Structure 1
Amino acid sequence: MLSRLVIISASALKGSGPLGAGLVQASRSLHTSSQSLAPVPPLPEKGGKVRHGIFPEEIFQLLYPKTGVTGPYMLGTGLLVYMLSKEIYVINHETLAAASIGAVIIYGVKKFGPSVAAFADKLNEDKVAKAQEVKDVAMASLTQAIEDEKKEQWRAEGRSILFDAKRNNVAMLLETNHRERLHMVTNEVKRRLDYQVALQDLHRRMAQEHMINWVEKSVIGSITPQQEKESIAKCITDLKALAKNTQAKATA
C-alpha cells in the first residue's frame, strides 16, 4: 500500500523541489536494492524495560553519562515548561479529558493487567504446548521413518549377500546331483563288468568240469576188468604192508 502511495505521489514530489527529488530517490533505492541475506534475529518474547509506563530505559541510559541521574527528568521538565511557556501546547478541556482517560487507562492496566496477562500467557502456553506436541509427533514420525529407511538400506545391502548364498546353494545342489549321477553311472558300469567277469568265470568253470568229466570217463573207459582186479589186489597188498610197518613201529 505504501509503495502504491509512493508511486502515485512521485509526480507531485518531483515538482516540490530538492526535498521531493530526495524522497523519490530514496523510494527508488528501497524498491531496487537487493535483499539482504543476513539472518534475521528472533523477536524478543517480552518488551524492553520502561519507566513511568511509556519512557524506554535506553533513553535514561543514553543520557546518564552526560547529564547524570537527574538529567532525563530535568530534560523532560524543561521541554514541558518550554512548550507551555511558548504556547506550543495549550492546556484546554481536551487536555483534562485526555488526563482523565489516561488515568482510567492506567488504573485499568494496574488493576486488571496482571490477570489479563496471566490469561494471555496461559493461552500462549496452550498454543505453544499444542505446537510442541505436534512437533514432537512429527519428529517421532520422521525419526521412525529414518530408522525404517536405514533398515531398508541395510536389507538392500544384505540382499547381495543373500543372493550369493543362494547362488552357492544352487551350485552345491548341482554339484551334488552331478556326483550322484557319476556314482550311479559308476555303480552301473561296475555291476555290468562284474556280470561279465562272473559270466567268464562260469564259462571257465563249466569248461573245466566238462574237461574233468571227459578225462574221467576216458580213463575209466580205458581200464580193463583184469587191470582193475590187479590194481585192487596191489592196493590190498600195499595196505597190509603199511599195517605191518605200523605195528612194528608201535611194538618197538
Structure 2
Amino acid sequence: MNIKGTDRLCKNRATVCFVRPSSDVAASGQRDLVNFPKRVRPIEKSPVRMGIFPEEWFTAFYSKTGVTGPYMALASIGTFLASKEFFVMEHDFYVGVGLFIVLSGIVKSVGPGMAETLNKELDEQEALYKNVRQSEIDHLKRTIEAEKAAQVNATAWEDIIAAKKEAVGLQLESVYRERLSDAYTQVKKRLDYQLEVANVMRRMEQKHMVDWIITNVRKSITPAQEDAALKKCIADLKSLSAA
C-alpha cells in the first residue's frame, strides 16, 4: 500500500472515530462512560469447567445445542484433531498428562495457603492505598472547608468594615457635638463676662452719680440752712410729742 492510500485510510479512520457521539457526554468532548465504561479488575477468577474452559463458552452453547452441546463439540473437535494427526499423542503428551497431574496435586495442596498469603498481602496493600487515598480526600475536604470558611470570613469582613466605618462616624459625630458644646460654653462665658462688665460699669456709674449728687447737694447747703432745718426738725418733734 502506498503512502497516499495509508494517509487516506488514516483520515477515514479518524473520521469514523470522531463522527460517532452516542451520548451527551461524548458530544461534549468528555469520555463516553455510557457506551465505554471503565474497566474493572475482577477480584475473583471467572468460573471454569474441566479446569481450563471458561463458563461463558458453555453458556453460549446452551441456546443453540442444549446442555450436551459443549461437551459434544469438545469431543468432536478433539476426535477431528486426533484423527487428522493435527494433535499427535506422542511421549510428550503423556509426560504433559503426568506433569498436569503432579501440578494439580501441588496446586491443591499448596495453593490454598499461597492464595491466602497473597490475598492477605493484596488486602494490606489495598488498605494502605485506600488509607493514602482517604487521607488525601480528607485533606482536600479540610482544605475546601477552610476555603469556604475563608470566603465566609471575607464576606463578614465587609460587614465588619462597614460597622467600623459606622463606629468611626459615630465617634466623629460625638466629637463634633462635644466641640459644639465646648464652643457654646466658651461663647456663653464671654457673653456673661461682657454682661457682668456692663453691669459693674452701670453700678459704678450709678454709685458715682449718687455720690456726686450727694456731694453737690451737701456743698449747696449753707450753715444757716442747716441750722434752720435743724430747728424745724426740733419743732416738728416737739409738736409730735405734744400731740
What's the TM-score, normalizing by structure 1?
Answer: 0.76
Name the % identity: 32
Tell me whether 1:156 sits opposite 2:164 in the alignment. Answer: no
Q: Following the alignment from structure 1 to structure 2, what is the Cα–Cα distance between the partners of residues 58 and 72?
A: 11
Structure 1 CA distance, aligned partners of 2:61 and 2:238? 169
1:49 corresponds to which residue? 47
Letter in 2 for 1:38: D
Letter matched to residue 146 of structure 2: D
Give the C-alpha shift of residue 32 in structure 1: 5.0
2: CA distance between counterparts of 1:207 and 1:199?
12
Which SS does the other structure have where 2:198 is aligned? Answer: helix
Q: Residues 79, 216 of structure 1: CA spacing in aligned structure 2 closer, same or farther, 3 A cutoff?
A: same
Match of 1:85 among 83, 86, 96: 83
Q: Quick one: distance in 1 between partners of 2:234 and 2:95? A: 180
Whole-Å separation in 2 of the counterparts to 1:99 and 1:232: 181
In the alignment, is residue 188 of structure 1 matched against residue 182 of structure 2?
no
Show the counterpart of 1:120.
Answer: 118
1:95 matches 2:114: no
Between 34-43 and 70-79, the greater mean CA deviation after superposition: 34-43
Q: Where does structure 1 differ by over 6 angstroms across 4 or more consecutive aligned residues?
A: none
Total equivalences in the alignment: 218
Counterpart CA distance in 1 for 2:117 and 2:62 is 37
Tell me, which stretches of 5 or more residues in structure 2 are unaligned? 21-30
SS in 1 for 2:137: helix
SS in 1 for 2:71: helix
Unaligned 5+ segments in structure 1 are 1-9, 12-23, 242-252
> How far is the alpha carbon of 1:111 from its aligned partner?
1.6
Q: Computing the radius of gyration over CA atoms, which structure comes out larger, 1 or 2?
A: 1
Q: Which amino acid aligns with 1:95?
A: F
Give the structure 2 partner of residue 225 of structure 1: 227
The alpha-carbon distance between structure 1 residues 216 and 94, as it changes in their structure 2 partners (threshold 3 A), is same
- Post-superposition Cα deviations, 1:11-35, rounded to whole Å, max 9, x if no partner, equal 9xxxxxxxxxxxx98xx66x95448
Alignment of 1:235 with 2:233, yes or no, is no
Q: What amino acid is the match of 2:188?
A: K
1:207 to 205, 210, 217: 205
1:179 aligns with 2:177: yes
Name the amino acid aligned to 1:155: N
* TM-score, with structure 2 as normaliser: 0.79
Structure-2 change in CA distance of 1:236 and 1:114 (3 Å): farther
Q: Distance in 2 between matches of 1:207 and 1:182?
A: 37
